[in-house]
Amino acid sequence: MSKLEKNHFRLDNVQLPDTYRNVLSSGFTVVENMLSDISSVLKESARDIHGTNLLQVQKVQNNVLKMYNAINHIRKELNLERDNKELGSIILSRASKIWEVLCDLKTERLKGYGSTPTGLSSYLNPRIDELLNILDQILEDTKTLSRERVIQPKQKNNPQ
């Protein structure tokens, strides 16, 4: 039983609007897909790792599984669908994650990795801005798709 399950708060009287259901469902799907990617990399790497490092890989795999199970628990408690069928919601949730990653790639955010190499800012930042502008256009174009229903591609294998 996880810490969250021990400190369980029931949401029996809370009514989630569809907008909340959509964003939560889509966001958890993004996280599950990332967890699946991590799990796949760990499984591939585990073939060539031995000893203490293999134990660490197994610990990470166990924690990935714990996260996946915790998300499933949240989905169940909040009665969230596994796959959102509104195209606009799907694109919006994926685009918000892309936006976060792109912003973190700007050189002023990379200073935690050491001093910025000369010329990198003038090269990289305008290109990141261009990508963000294209992403803004994707979001603008998505507004007309907000209620379109789609069949999502099959979900990646879960990390179990």
| Mean predicted lDDT score pLDDT of the chain | 82
34: nearest Cα among 11, 2, 64, 60: 64
* Helix, strand or coil, per DSSP, at residue 115: coil
Q: Please indicate whether residue 7 or residue 35 has the higher confidence score (pLDDT).
A: 35
Q: Assign 3-state DSSP to the chain and report helix, strand, coil percentages, each to 5.
A: 70, 0, 30
* Helix, strand or coil, per DSSP, at residue 83: coil
Least confident of 27-31, 80-84, 147-151: 147-151
Q: Please indicate whether residue 103 or residue 146 has the higher confidence score (pLDDT).
A: 103
What pTM does this model have?
A: 0.67
CA distance 65 to 41: 14
CA distance 84 to 80: 9
DSSP secondary structure letter of residue 94: H
pLDDT for the residue 27:
83
Average pLDDT over residues 96-123: 92
CA distance 154 to 160: 16
